[in-house]
Structure 1
Amino acid sequence: MAQSADKAMTEYQRLRRLVLAALISIIAVFLVFGASIHSENVHERIEWVGQMLILIGIGGRLWSTLYIGGRKSSEVVQTGPYSVTRNPLYFFSAVAAAGVGGQMGSVALAVAFGILCWVAFSIVIRREEGFLSAKLGRPYLEYVARVPRFIPNPSLYRDEEFVTFRPKLLLRTLKDGLAFFLSVPLFELIETLQNSGTIPVFFRLW
């Protein structure tokens, strides 16, 4: 039974990664022909903020993995990042995705990336919640009633003295997170090709 539960949760997590990868890939292809409307200085500042968001997103995902440690389908984790939001991995993934959008030098795109990820993750979250409600019962339902689904509430924060984790899961989360940084050289390459006239610019974003 435990192995079946772990397998189901692994499938949900795999779906999460596929949704995020597909979403970013589709939008990135579309944006090959787009550019920022801002001046070079503003453009670079937005890129810099985007890179900071990517770092925060990756750090937050690692922090979340330290606490969940593969236990999501077997017990209700309610400390650390899970004390302020029920889905910190999804939240920090959306933050990193916003940072990816910022690599085009567009505020609108950064916000759009974050919102689109939130919408896409909401589908996966609802499926997970149905599974966890049935698997973990009352303790999970009480947790749901107390802690917000997505946007963190810092006033709820609480921690524990010791945390155990699985190094393999932490490494996998790091590898997944570093994929966000691929957007940095990708958009730089696109900008170079646009400036040289190799790629035409059909639209500009704020």
Structure 2
Amino acid sequence: MSTTPAITHDLGRTQSRRKMKIRLALLLFSPALLFTTGIFEPGSWQREALEGVGVLLVFLAILGRAWSTLYIGGRKIDHLVTAGPYSVTRNPLYLFSFVAVLGLGLQTGSITIALGLLVAYAIFWPVVLREEATLHKIHGVLFEIYRNSVPRFAPRRSLWKDAHQLEIDPRRLRQTVLDGLIMLALIPLIRGIGWLQASTPNLPVLALF
């Protein structure tokens, strides 16, 4: 289905705003990580267990986002993608981003902070709704059928269907992989904050479970 330049521009603007909000959220919440930490000391088995689970979640998110990009990369506007991960959830890229945020939050050694970051990530809810409204303008009744049968986030495995073949957009896949590398780079940064807190006794830090 062909699209008008105005609708295409609207979707592009919505996605640009999403990226700006991600950068703004990181900027706003970074100082908070310096003054909050988990109740478990760095190096304790409890802390290492939480960090280990978090690392696994980040890797899962990176693989999931790359997998989703193979299906959606470069086709979101002119084609309604309903195969692969998009057959079980309408927003797999967002879903795996939630997983990444949870995994990064666990690097603080605090379940509370991890869940807090996940709740903060909900600022993207209006962006999701605007994207869906734009996709409805583009695809009409086809999107209505898709929206009514496939959950917005929670995957429904019974709906799984795959594509016979994929046309991959290398540029978008590279960008997704680069975003994943940035996620990995945040892991030692967040852990470094924890060691800085532990080695600075006079730093006012709130310990959370």
Q: TM-score, normalised by structure 2?
A: 0.90
Q: Is the 8 A contact 1:62 1:174 kept in 2?
A: yes
CA shift for structure 1 position 199: 6.7
Mapped to 1, the partners of 2:32 and 2:202 lie a distance apart of: 12
Question: Are 2:125 and 1:113 aligned?
Answer: no
Mapped to 2, the partners of 1:193 and 1:98 lie a distance apart of: 22
Mapped to 2, the partners of 1:6 and 1:175 lie a distance apart of: 25
CA shift for structure 1 position 120: 1.8
Aligned 1:85-164 pairs, distance under 5 A = 85-117=89-121, 119-164=122-167
Sequence identity, in percent?
Answer: 36
Q: TM-score, normalised by structure 1?
A: 0.92
Aligned 1:22-101 pairs, distance under 5 A = 22-39=24-41, 40-101=44-105
Mapped to 2, the partners of 1:198 and 1:190 lie a distance apart of: 13
Find runs of 4+ consecutive structure 1 residues off by over 6 angstroms.
none
CA shift for structure 1 position 161: 2.1
CA shift for structure 1 position 58: 1.1
Q: Is the 8 A contact 1:12 1:124 kept in 2?
A: yes
Change (3 A) 1:70 1:120: same
Given the alignment, which residue of 5, 10, 22 partners 1:20? 22
Letter in 2 for 1:195: A
Which runs of 5 or more residues in structure 2 are unaligned? none
Secondary structure in 2 matching 1:204: strand
- Indicate the RMSD between aligned Cα atoms, in angstroms: 1.8
Secondary structure in 2 matching 1:103: helix
Q: Is the 8 A contact 1:50 1:110 kept in 2?
A: no
Q: Which residue of 2 aligns with 1:202?
A: 205
- Residues paired across the two proteins, number: 205
Which runs of 5 or more residues in structure 1 are unaligned? none
Mapped to 2, the partners of 1:79 and 1:123 lie a distance apart of: 25
